Amino acid sequence: MINKSYWDKVYNIFLDLPICHRLPDRTFKVKNWYFPVCSRCTGFYIGAFSYFIYVYFFYVEYTITLILLAIIMMTPTLLDGFTQFFDFRESNNMLRLFTGLMGGVGLAILVKALKYLILMYL
């Protein structure tokens, strides 16, 4: 059995990385443990990881239409983040999660399309 101090060390690795603001009011909490990243970043990770699993099993052709769709999928995340940053409104964790999911899938599409372009023209 793995002791608790091991999991504390693994958890702290995420806390030491400058990848997210990790504000407690914008982070999901399970019992007394906060997620290592905010709800929007959680959505990004889940969305991107899900897309990478999908393309592992199914062929995806990267057309200009798919790339434009990926940019459109990232737009709600940008709008949600900037309108909250400039105090136009206050978002909630579920909205952050869903915009993060869309943005994560969009970002993953762009990353895979860029990889495809680099491999095709090198």
- Mapping DSSP onto H, E and C, the string for 76-105 reads HHHHHHHHHHCCCCCCCHHHHHHHHHHHHH
Q: Where are the domains of the chain?
A: 38-121
pLDDT band at 1 (very low <50, low <70, confident <90, very high): very low
Q: CB–CB of 67/109 below 8 Å?
A: yes
d(CA 67, CA 105): 11
Q: Is-above-0.85 flag for pTM?
A: no
pLDDT digits (tens, 9 = 90+) for 35-52: 888 888 899 999 999 999
Average pLDDT, integer, range 73-90: 89
